[in-house]
Homo-oligomer: A and B are copies of this chain.
Amino acid sequence: MDLEPVYAYVDAHADALLADLFRLLRQRSISTQDDGVKECAELLATQMREVGIDATVYPTARHPVVYGEIGPAGAPTILVYGHYDVQPPEPLELWQCDPFEPVIRDGKIYARGSSDNKGQLFAHVKGIQAYRAALGELPLKVKFIFEGEEEISSPNLEPFVAAHRNLLRCDVCIFSDSHVQENGRPLVVLGLKGMLYVEITVRGADRDLHSMRAAAVPSPVWRLVHLLAALKGEDGLVRIPGFYDDVRPLLPEEIAAVEAVPCDKAALAADLGVTSLLVNRHGDDYYKNMIFEPTCNISGLTAGYQGPGSKTVLPAQATAKLDLRLVPDQKPERVLELLKEHLARSGYADAEVKPLGFLEPSRTPITHPLVAVARRAVADAYGVEPYVYPGIGGAGPNYIFEKHLGVPCLTIPFAAADQNNHAPNESMIVAGYLNGIKTSAALIEHVAAFFSRQANSSSKE
């Protein structure tokens, strides 16, 4: 398996490969503001066609899906997922350049969407170009599904995938929508957390009252405090009965993979401005907690007077916003049920629990043979062994592909950890973009070789 011609092609054509990405970055595609999204879908399809991919723009209820495929019929298939929509660039005054006029400075491309996710998805498009230019026609099929709604919670992705199972049929799904390790080493990530987002509101009197009434009229704020204290103990453990029951037991290989990740807890705590990291069921190991520990976080709390100084009021209501990040095999719908049952049993049946989001967790077992194949492809392209993370703390749509297509999902990020995604001065490391193109081509070669060996061995049996 000699990928050197591919790598040489990428290095020799770096300027042109960057120029093509800049064309995509210049096209606005702010999904929440309906700004340029359709135009971006068309441009992306055009740029896919330019490298030989058969691309189609599929309308959905809101923003289009760009689908494409290339490669021999009936061959093993890689499906690449990405999203071409971006976050709003505001606040503009904090940018050091126009967010839609990319510039390179100190080895980084600065532009909205440069890492999240145009720069990373485009590496896969350009991987096709590099492979074909250096090695000829593809040994397998590559399909692409690029959505325009990831930044608005992908409302149409699951319906689209469910309705196009045949079109999307594949053997493995590749995501590149994250970042490499803080120390620069590449990663193969095997899953994401799920999420249940709920807003809990407790009501008291039908209007705010003078706080002298607090002696005689029940306070919804105190009720919310006690309700919340019933959800999580001072020990950090979630107190909802059954919450941990569906947590999938860890494989020894998964634990070993996380233990192989270097972690300077003192430096991490100092960087965050805290005196120590949380102690959870797995102790205070940062990566073990980030990867394996489900959470019940309070994202927001609001009641009564919040301005400067003092005001004396007995508030009419109090609200908490909770995001519960779930690990396999917890299900957000089930956790919502458990939460509601627990509140009812604890005397808070009157609290209004409004679910605002459901995302399922995902985790491809580390023992899946394609994990080793992906590791070797990444090591080949980057020249250094990747770490394997059984999961990461973020949530995302990976589970949709696992669930509807029944395939392993591997996240292989190309962005650097300091990418500033969703923030001003978002950047994509130039080396990451070029390594991404190499990695994409290497994956084609390594995955094709794996299926070829598998076919040979099964034909011999």
Contact = CB atoms under 8 A, between A and B. Distances in A.
Interface stretch (A54-62, A128-136, A304-312, A404-412): A304-312
Interface stretch (A103-111, A169-177, A313-321, A428-436): A313-321
Most chain B CB within 10 A, of A289, A293, A312, is at: A312
Contacts of A392: 212
Given A206-B273, A290-B213, A300-B303, A218 B325 contact: no
Contacts of A303: 298, 300-302
Nearest to A302: B306
A286 interface: yes
**Oligomeric state, in copies:** 2
A245 B221 CA distance: 26
A361 B290 CA distance: 51
A300 B311 contact: yes
A273 B207 contact: yes
A356 B289 CA distance: 39
A363 interface: no
A97 interface: no
A299 B313 contact: yes
A217 B274 contact: yes
Given A306-B300, A356-B309, A323 B273 contact: no
A182 interface: no
A232 interface: yes
Given A204-B274, A212-B393, A393-B213, A302 B299 contact: no
Contacts of A297: 211, 214, 219, 312, 314
Contacts of A197: 310, 312
- Categorize the interface residue count of chain A: 35 or more
A457 B229 CA distance: 64
B272 A209 contact: yes
Central interface residue in A205, A217, A306, A393, by most chain B CB within 10 Å: A217
A456 to B, nearest CB: 42
A313 B232 CA distance: 18
Give the top 9 A-B pairs by smallest Cβ distance, nearest first: A206-B273, A212-B393, A214-B297, A300-B304, A300-B305, A221-B298, A301-B303, A229-B229, A302-B306
Interface of A: 193, 195, 197, 199, 204-207, 209-219, 221-222, 224-226, 228-229, 232, 234, 236, 272-274, 276-278, 280, 284, 286, 289-290, 293-295, 297-306, 309-315, 318-319, 321, 323, 325, 347, 356-357, 392-395
18 contacts: A197-B310, A197-B312, A205-B272, A214-B325, A215-B294, A216-B277, A216-B286, A216-B293, A217-B274, A226-B229, A298-B303, A299-B311, A299-B313, A300-B303, A300-B315, A302-B302, A302-B303, A310-B321
